[in-house]
Amino acid sequence: MARLLCFLLVTVFCAACKTSTTSKEEQWIGFAPAGQQYCQINPGGQTILPNGRIIKPYGQTYTVAPHPYGLTLSPDGTVAITANSGTEPFSISILRNIHQTPVIQQIPEGAKNDEGILESVFMGLAITPDNRHVYVGGGASNKIFKFDIATGDKVDSIDCSVIDNRIDYTHGYIGDLLLNEAGTRLYAIDQIGFRVLVIDTGTRSILQNVPTGRYPFGICLAPDQKSLYVANVGMFEYQAFAHLDHDDLKKGALKFPASAYGSQEMIEGYKNDSIDVPGLGDPNDPAAFSVWKYDLADKVVVSRKIKTGILVGEKVEGIPAVGGSSPNSIVATDQYVFVSNGNNDCISVIDFHQDTLIQNIFIKPDPKIAHLRGVIPFGLALSPDQQRLYVAEAGINAVGVIDIPTLEVKGHIPVGWFPSKLAVTPDGKKIIVANAKGFGSGPNGGANYDEGPEGTYVGNLMKGTVTVLDVLPDEALAQSSAEVISNMVSFNRADDLPAERKNNPIPIYPKASDSPIRHIVFISKENRTYDEVFGQIKAGRGDPTLARYGVGQSFSNHAKTDSVKNADVMTNHLALARRFAIADNFYVDADHSADGHRWLVNTYPNEWVETHVAAAYGGKRGSRRDSKAPGNLGLVGASGAIYPEDYNEAGSIWDHFERNQIDFFNFGFGVEMAGTLSDSTLKNTGVTYLVNYPLPGPLYDRSSRNYATYNMAIPDQFRVDQFIAEFNEKWMGDGKELPQVITLILPNDHGAGDRPAAGYPFKESYMIDNDLALGRIVEFLTNTPYWKSMAIIVTEDDSQDGVDHIDAHRSLLMVISPWSRRNYVGHQHYSFGSIFKTFWHILGTPYLNQYDATASDLSDLFTNEPDFAPYMPIPADPRVFDPQKALDPFDENFDWKAVIESPKLDDVDDFLESHGEE
């Protein structure tokens, strides 16, 4: 397929992605600072996060509701208010007397939402000049609410659903907003309506709906109140295929995503007698990733469109940028307009008088990883004297300090997990910071877990925090900056590592040595925690009472009309754990499937993804079939893919593979786009496509067209059959060679409702389907000639459907290889970054971002004494899952020969005891 954009040309690896030094003597290796510590929340000391980093905020920290992505401070500096746009209940938190020990009120109170109080909320907050009222952006309600700060009562609301000059704004998503100094004008952005609302607060009337760029996100007023600025965080305006028959959508749906990102087809679209796919245009269009300036007169008009950060395709140290800049927050002084670019780790400086970009201030917290992205600058705040700019550095859990006269970064201050927005008190002495993920979730089950009214769902447990800290003098910033780095990564010299580490099959850094592993198979599953599968293994730190998918389990169907006693559920997982290596201190970085599928391809979620994922799982967000909003289809929800607005500057693993000439092939990974149809008739692909979302360019031609992506109506046994057939066709036989990397999705441990007629009488049936599929794939691969040089890495996209007594993010990590340690449970702290770091060390490629560079690799799970014996899978318990019954609707025959003579799970007591007590 033709590629028109230079950023998608295959390039030779260059300095932008090299490790920071070249000689072994100078080589530094990053490790997660957690070491072997497990996740723990310790507000008064060190909190260990799922990603292995540490938080120990300066100042005082107070807990609010989940995901405070909005923050405002009253003009008199006494009250801070957060907009908590995570899972229900949507709320605001009012922190009165913020200077001392604040009194905190959540509205609405409690763990359940009250539709009559606050239907929805997203980020936007503005307090009136008299400090009495606050306006709240209503998100998907398409309203703006007004609350009395003293009482917490809702006193008014403004309906933003209008039809203006034949433009239909009845479906909107109200985000950030602000008031002018007099409090007479309210300016709000509609993220999916691509508009700025100009509202008269006295009459509560909408005076104007002014067009913006794509997905407006941040807004600010100039100090002279004569200009308004809006930061647009989107790249494209997505559309359904023009040829669709809305009475029979499946008839016009495509069997594969419409185009490859960067291709001529993506830009221009294409059509023939039966297909009409709209083009998406230029990724660097003025409406994309830009700041628009508006002159405020009788009529508000756009006067300037300014591109910020790094353009798509622009080379950074020789590497063309894959993603756009993601401008998100914006503030203005008398001299400059500052914009945070979430994907570029920089602050763009715009000359206030000339409206031109004059500089990008790059935020590079440590020179050893200065070439890698991951700071994610988000919220901005100015000191009252306009001498300091403060930046919420969401990716490194810190506040950055920039000197405005010199436009230089002075240092960083530790705060909570994922700081989103911040403000400075009117006296300039304190900084108020909203930390969207607070101290994390903690455990959500186990003998010592006391379930609260919010339940056990990870999204409800991710309480946010507000940190109040003193502005530091310049001489204190060196120490605080050092703490930010030490909380993020622990560095060791390569030559200081012990000899046994240097002899490991995993090189100590890329190209440090040759690895005997030449083929990687990366398998993704869905939504399980460590405890519910491996909680009975005594060598691991598990809780056997939570091992609902372990051995000896009794359960019933949803209707309580059928039950099974003493069943062994995920027996192949347990047998593989005994034969090979697992980790009991591994955590997914994700809270949900939506962000999980980004992390799974080493795309760390930027501020756009993080804010909208949280809102999506609150049940108040999503595209509508009847919507006329131009941004309606940009609300992609929980689909298992990445989108152009999400792309990191250096792209995902797919771009990294292509850039470094790593051959790969994909089975169902990352192709489950939004706007799809899925049912049991779509057995070959799992879904069909209705919207012109592009697929990452390198992935387009390297993905199976005959493998079912996420669709719970397709048995994992059928996926195994598809995989084996295509594997044999492509890579078995003389003259054929397996790619270096295979990616594969086995999603049915997600679980679904009881479907006895389809072979799934219990939720546990899905688990056994998934378990047997994994066993069969391992059996097949261990009997190929590639096995001797192979490593199979198995993990989950997230853990949201399970419970765990250590942390709700703890999940499965399995290393299956002749070169893995045997019958071994590792205790090093691992995250998704650990998996990718291990890939890069094996493949000899550089790191992709700060998350993989600062994680610990998986070398502890490997040995230099291989065992090449094949694996034999364990059959399913026929009371719970009959593979043939599940395959019958697909006209497939289950090959019992592969498993009929396989052993049963070894004596359970012996198996569990063989791992020994801790």
More confident call, 832 vs 915: 832
Structure-token pair, residue 5: 């954009």
pLDDT in tens, 789-846: 999 999 999 999 999 999 999 999 999 999 999 999 999 999 999 999 999 999 999 9
pTM: 0.95
375: left (phi over 0), alpha (psi -120 to 50) or beta: alpha
pLDDT exceeds cutoff 60 at 467 = yes
User: To which residue do tokens 């950030």 refer?
Assistant: 176
Closest CA to 694 of 653, 654, 644: 644
The residues facing 438 across adjacent strands are: 417
* Confidence (pLDDT) at 903: 54
Phi, psi dihedral angles at 819 (to 5 degrees): -100, 5
Long-range contact pairs involving 73-76 (C-beta distance under 8 Å, separation at least 24): 73/98, 73/127, 73/423, 73/424, 73/425, 73/432, 74/127, 74/131, 74/149, 75/127, 75/129, 75/131, 75/426, 76/131, 76/426
Mean pLDDT in residue range 80-103: 89
Mean pLDDT in residue range 182-195: 97
Distances (CA, A) of 896 to 28, 531, 884, 901: 51, 31, 9, 9
pLDDT exceeds cutoff 70 at 369 = yes
* Confidence (pLDDT) at 24: 41
What share of the chain in percent tops pLDDT 90? 84
Please give the angle made by the CA atoms of 589, 595 and 308, to the nearest 5 degrees. 105
pLDDT in tens, 851-909: 999 999 999 999 999 999 999 999 999 999 999 999 998 888 877 665 655 555 544 44
Under 8 Å between Cβ of 330 and 338: yes
* Confidence (pLDDT) at 90: 85
Under 8 Å between Cβ of 606 and 342: yes
Mean pLDDT in residue range 529-550: 97
Q: Which of 47-56, 750-759, 893-902 has the lowest mean pLDDT?
A: 893-902
Under 8 Å between Cβ of 27 and 36: no
Mean pLDDT in residue range 275-299: 97
Amino acid at site 832: F
Sign of the C-alpha dihedral computed for residues 424, 430, 434 and 435 taken in this order: positive
Under 8 Å between Cβ of 650 and 322: yes
CA-CA distance, 252 to 692, in Å (whole number)?
Answer: 13
Under 8 Å between Cβ of 766 and 404: no
pLDDT in tens, 311-353: 999 999 889 999 999 999 999 999 999 999 999 999 999 999 9
Q: What domains are there in the chain, each with its CATH number?
A: 6-28+518-553+568-606+646-914 (3.40.720.10), 54-238+280-488 (2.130.10.10)
